[in-house]
Amino acid sequence: MHTAEGGIQEVIVTAQRTSGLESKTPVAMSVVDGAALAAAGLDRPSDIGARLPGVAINGAADGLRITIRGVSNADATEKGEPSAAFMMDGIYIARPHGQNLDFLDVDRIEVLRGPQGTLYGRNTTAGVVNVISRAPTARFEGAAGVEMGNHGSRKADAVLNVPVSDAIALRAAVSTNRRDSLLRNGQGTPHTLGQDRDATTGRLSAKFALGSSASLLLRLDRSVQRDNNDVIVPDTNFYQGIETGNPVPYDAGTVARLTNAFVPPNTVPEQGHSRRASTGLGAEFSWDLGPATLHYLGAHRRFDHDFLVNYYYRIVPGFALGVRQDFDGSFEQDSHELRVATNGNGPVSGQAGIYWFREEMAQLATFRDLELIGLPPYYVFPSNPVTSSSRALFGQVTWRALDGLRLTAGARRTEDRKSRYGSTNLQQEQVFNPATDIALPNAAALATGKTTWRLGAEFDLAPSTMAYATVSTGYKSGGFNDGAAPDPTLVYRPETLKAYELGIKTRFWANRAGLNLSAYRYAYDNLQLSGVAMVQGVPRFVTANAGAASVKGVEVEGVLKPVAAGRLSYTLAFTDAHYLAYSPDGVHSWAGYKLDRAPRAVFTLGYEHGFQLRDGVMKAGVFSRSSSESTIGVPSQLLRYRIPGRTETDMRLGYEPAGSPWSVLLRVKNLQNKVEPVTIDSFGMTVPSEPRAVALRVDYRF
């Protein structure tokens, strides 16, 4: 970061795959640095969406749910793909349930809004969330912190950076995070419920200087989460009139909304559990060849997940069953990218590269307690293997046509392949018996491809003011449902988007104020919408193309330093995202209805101030977010849930003695202690947001 005396910080970003100032990057984006994350207590990806314009990032029961400008996705199964790419140090993380891991030693998070199909590739119709960790440096330093709060919250983390020699630097980081359940059990069982925390995360990094022109950065990370997947309550905790097809929100206390009092008529819940283990090895290599630099970025990652979860499974309006699901899955992915980027400030600059990705999955999902709807005791989905591969060629060129005018053109050709071998089994016992059980094949293979492109123009209106205009496209690969050919509903088409955007980025008032303004319009075709529906007498998770949608809006993001010790930040987002043509059942039309998690207006305001005391510095901060109402739709049930508008406020107060390595911080999140639905699925299972959290933290740095 760079800053002038009393001015706002200029952030160095890599949104265009090369380093540059955020204020000179022609992309609608937000940057949250690691220090701000720690101060606000935002310790995993699902925490940051409330801080960003046009963005909702939620921790759903089946993984991370990212919505950017109304573009989202609900299929977190092994055959689904996201609409927004989630990346860790530039590495695409494919499975949503492997994305919401604890932050560890983060340098910054770059959130790019709008399709990024040229430089980032497939599954970026909505945008990109890239979490960038700190790399080893040439300075010996370290830090440690401990934190305690309500709900039994306790956390500890530490970082150590060691320069071994002029050519080698090492960095190690570790954290542990614990919390009791936020939900209350009203089912009459002794079991604990979910929304608890039990996570341990570590990372080792090594940076090597290979002569004067090349460097290699290696990262090894490991995260294990042992918590409870029973993170839901019935939608009746929030809504009345569901049986009429028109859910209406009603007032209820926070404790009541966080209580699961559903007593299944057909079974007794078991103690839920979950274990997520994620391991990754990544490498970044760069070699300065003079006129150009060669970059390599690659990684191997493995994610293992097993759990037992108790469902609230609505069969018909007003009647629900209890269903237990056991799951065991393993997911491995490999990715490699080789890229060449020009150096210098000549009239033409550019980059080009090749990309390869492959993922292989094996899983076993078992549902019990569905006998009342005519199914046998075990309803089982074995899948092994499920494979997904992608390869791409891409390039982008920028021409400095005139002083202050730059024109950009880029394109990417992506080829995707998917295949799955498995079945839907109707079993009498836990182990399949071919003499008594039925196996319905789930076998499919699909190849899709798309050329995405980007055209852009940038113009310097003044030394610190830039305007830009872009036209870009996005692409999310197609897929297949349960079943086998020749089922006509087996395959669904790729999702595509064309985006038009105008923007201005400016710094003014002697660099004490900054403003980013963007206006956009999307043409959105073949939306992939998912939910559970009855197919041939059995429930299946089905994805279908939803026709077309229109998305348009305006976003404002600004910062102001009225005094040297004070900083005011604000965002404002107006969004109009609705279906143009969509019928969930072929009879009812949802044309004109809002897309999910796209409130018409969201406003955030934050202020922080440092008070110089005789024996130290006290820092105070407040952040508030106000949102108009939004919608969560369940197309397979023809239900639309209205999420009322709300305001949520966070506050913090810290103190650092003069000349001391110690500091202390008191933090309150969700001061109003209100909760709302985060996700609602086809069965009525609702993940609520988190109640008020209070924490006291102590840090030591050297």
The answer to whether residues 616 and 660 touch, using CB atoms and an 8 Å cutoff, is yes
In percent, how much of the chain has pLDDT > 90? 83
What is the full DSSP assignment across 595-642? PTT--SEEEEEEEEEEEEETTEEEEEEEEEEEE--EEEEEGGGTEEEE
C-alpha 476/C-alpha 320 separation (Å) is 35
- Length of the chain in terms of residues written: 702
Q: Does position 6 have pLDDT exceeding 80, yes or no?
A: no
Tell me the per-residue pLDDT of 683-695, one tens digit each, with 9 for 90 and over.
999 999 999 999 9
Q: How far is CA 51 from CA 5, 54, 127, 520, 648, in A?
A: 26, 10, 16, 20, 11
SS3 state of residue 50: helix
The answer to whether residues 560 and 512 touch, using CB atoms and an 8 Å cutoff, is yes
Query: Residue 690: its pLDDT value, please?
Result: 96
* Domain count within the chain: 1
C-alpha 665/C-alpha 35 separation (Å) is 13
H/E run at residue 257: helix 254-257
Q: Does position 255 have pLDDT exceeding 90, yes or no?
A: yes
- pTM of structure: 0.94
Among 4, 26, 8, which Cα is nearest to 465's?
Answer: 26
Among 439, 319, 443, 422, which Cα is nearest to 378's?
Answer: 439
Q: Does position 697 have pLDDT exceeding 50, yes or no?
A: yes
Tell me the per-residue pLDDT of 462-500, one tens digit each, with 9 for 90 and over.
999 999 999 999 988 888 998 888 877 789 988 899 999
In percent, how much of the chain has pLDDT > 70? 99
Question: Does a cis peptide bond (omega within 30 degrees of 0) precede residue 385?
Answer: yes
Query: Residue 538: its pLDDT value, please?
Result: 75
In sequence order, which residues have a C-beta less than 8 Å from that of residue 659 and are 6 or more positions away? Answer: none
Query: Residue 4: its pLDDT value, please?
Result: 45
Q: How many CB atoms lie within 10 A of CB 539?
A: 21
Q: Token pair of 382, please?
A: 């074995």
**What's the mean pLDDT in 544-554?**
90
Domain range holding 562?
A: 2-701
User: Torsion angle of alpha carbons 174, 179, 182, 185, nearest 10°?
Assistant: 130
C-alpha 329/C-alpha 98 separation (Å) is 12
The answer to whether residues 447 and 480 touch, using CB atoms and an 8 Å cutoff, is no
**What's the mean pLDDT in 156-185?**
97
Average pLDDT across the chain, whole number: 94
Query: Residue 3: its pLDDT value, please?
Result: 46
In sequence order, which residues have a C-beta less than 8 Å from that of residue 433 and are 6 or more positions away? Answer: 427
For residue 309, what is the domain's CATH number? Answer: 2.40.170.20
The answer to whether residues 519 and 503 touch, using CB atoms and an 8 Å cutoff, is yes
Q: What is the gyration radius of the CA atoms in the chain, in angstroms? A: 25
The answer to whether residues 31 and 53 touch, using CB atoms and an 8 Å cutoff, is no
Tell me the per-residue pLDDT of 562-611, one tens digit each, with 9 for 90 and over.
999 999 999 999 999 999 999 988 899 999 999 999 999 999 999 999 99
C-alpha 112/C-alpha 127 separation (Å) is 5
Residue 481 one-letter amino acid:
N
SS3 state of residue 134: coil
Highest mean pLDDT among 2-16, 72-86, 290-304: 290-304
The answer to whether residues 156 and 176 touch, using CB atoms and an 8 Å cutoff, is yes
C-alpha 217/C-alpha 107 separation (Å) is 15
Tell me the per-residue pLDDT of 21-69, one tens digit each, with 9 for 90 and over.
999 999 999 999 999 999 999 999 999 999 999 999 988 888 899 999 9
Query: Residue 74: its pLDDT value, please?
Result: 76
Among 691, 589, 701, 699, which Cα is nearest to 150's?
Answer: 691
Among 6, 2, 12, 23, which Cα is nearest to 461's?
Answer: 23
C-alpha 213/C-alpha 292 separation (Å) is 11
C-alpha 267/C-alpha 222 separation (Å) is 37
What is the torsional sign of CA 122, 37, 645, 682? positive
C-alpha 486/C-alpha 488 separation (Å) is 6
